[in-house]
């Protein structure tokens, strides 16, 4: 699966995912910092990439419909986030990715669980 990491995730997140064999592009590497979320969403659609972000705006399913995407993954760390906690969340994501695909889904990765948006 191919992913695009938003600019709000540190380089260590890209390293962890690449180490596990995933194809990763980053908003920073592509010099897309500061562009609107809509542009990032469309770019991911064009490139057939799942976005991984900490930006809660992507949880708005009316603006960013998961069923029209290759997946939206939102990392939700606790308020006092540090690299160690972020790495735990990425490891949880990697474990879940080994068994499931976020294709056309919205995943919220929290400490000790992943919530999957289910449309009504």
Where do the domains of the chain lie, and which CATH numbers do they carry?
Answer: 2-116 (3.40.50)
Over the stretch 53-104, which tens digit does the pLDDT of each residue have? 999 999 999 999 999 999 999 999 988 888 889 999 999 999 999 999 999 9
C-beta atoms surrounding 119 within 10 Å: 9
Nearest-Å Rg of the Cα atoms of the chain is 13
Strand 72-75 to 23-26 pairing:
unpaired
Residue 38 pLDDT > 90: yes
pTM of the model: 0.94
Nearest to 109 by CA among 95, 120, 98, 99: 95
- Report phi then psi at 57, rounded to 5: -55, -30
């Amino acid at each position: 699966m191919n992913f695009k990491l938003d600019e709000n995730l540190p380089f260590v997140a890209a390293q962890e995912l690449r180490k596990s064999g995933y194809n990763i592009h980053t908003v920073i590497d592509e010099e897309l910092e500061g562009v609107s979320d809509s542009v990032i969403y469309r770019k991911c659609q064009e490139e057939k990439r799942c976005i991984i972000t900490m930006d809660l705006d992507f949880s708005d399913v009316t603006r960013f419909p998961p069923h029209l995407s290759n997946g939206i993954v939102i990392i939700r760390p606790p308020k006092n986030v540090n690299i160690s906690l972020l790495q735990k969340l990425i490891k949880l994501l990697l474990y879940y990715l080994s068994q499931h695909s976020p294709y056309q889904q919205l995943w919220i990765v929290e400490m000790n669980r992943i919530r999957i948006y289910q449309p009504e």
